[in-house]
Amino acid sequence: MNDVLTMEQIEFQAQADQQPIVQHIDIALRPQEFVALTGPSGSGKSTLLSMAGALLQPTSGALSINQTDVLRLNSQEKTKLRLQDIGFIFQSAHLLPYLKTADQLRYVGKLAGLTKQTMDQRIQRLLHMLGLEHRQHHFPRHLSGGEQQRVAIARAWMNDPSLILADEPTASLDRERGEQVVQTLRDQVKESNKAAIMVTHDTRLFAYCDRVIYLDNGQIDHVEASVVP
């Protein structure tokens, strides 16, 4: 089985005369793997996630997504890769306030050039999958925090990406809603044969992950296996 994401000896320096923000990073992610990335503030978690998402170019090392050498791609090719292969989920849902739930997903589908039939079918499948069918005609202001994050998850899945990158997706949610969001994310990773990395400080969420990667001072300190409930 081929890895969805591989990062080998990744290093990143903001400037040539500064200490690396991350260094000696080796990560491989297979389909159906849900991995947590944790560590103290300033340890390089968000920087590493940005490189995995082809938003930030490593200073050195090798990075591939679905056997595509990301470091050889130009700006336009990276944009296409992000649209086709990567789904992003952030701390806040970042929904467009003037679009209803279904239209949030439709907007992403249009950016990716999906046909109307494909978009409509996928929207209905995702809304059903995430229990949002009764909210498809609601604006974000009429949704709860948990519902907004579920819309964000649906939006991230809209283009059927191979890799999901979630940066503190439960930071603005209470415990119950946060665990519901993470469990939904994990279940879809397993059922859809995708892979995901989630940055989190919440140790309670580790139980939903296959592995927990601990970063410290820009390097992998250790990796722990987790038992999924």
What residues form DSSP beta bridges with 197? 35, 165
**DSSP-derived 3-state class of residue 181:** helix
Q: How far apart are CA 87 and CA 26, in angstroms?
A: 21
Total number of residues shown for the chain: 229
Q: How far apart are CA 136 and CA 124, in angstroms?
A: 9
Q: How far apart are CA 187 and CA 179, in angstroms?
A: 12
Q: How far apart are CA 178 and CA 158, in angstroms?
A: 21
The full 3-state SS of 10-39, as one line of letters, equals: EEECCCCCCCCCEEEEEEEECCCCEEEEEC
Q: What is the pLDDT of residue 213?
A: 96
Domains of the chain: 5-225 (3.40.50.300)
Closest CA to 50 of 78, 16, 9, 19: 78
Residues of the chain short of pLDDT 50, as ranges, are 229
What residues form DSSP beta bridges with 152? none
Let me know: does 23 contact 219? Beta carbons within 8 Å: yes
Q: What is the pLDDT of residue 150?
A: 87
Q: How far apart are CA 189 and CA 159, in angstroms?
A: 14
Digit-coded pLDDT (tens) for 176-207: 878 888 888 899 899 889 999 999 989 999 99
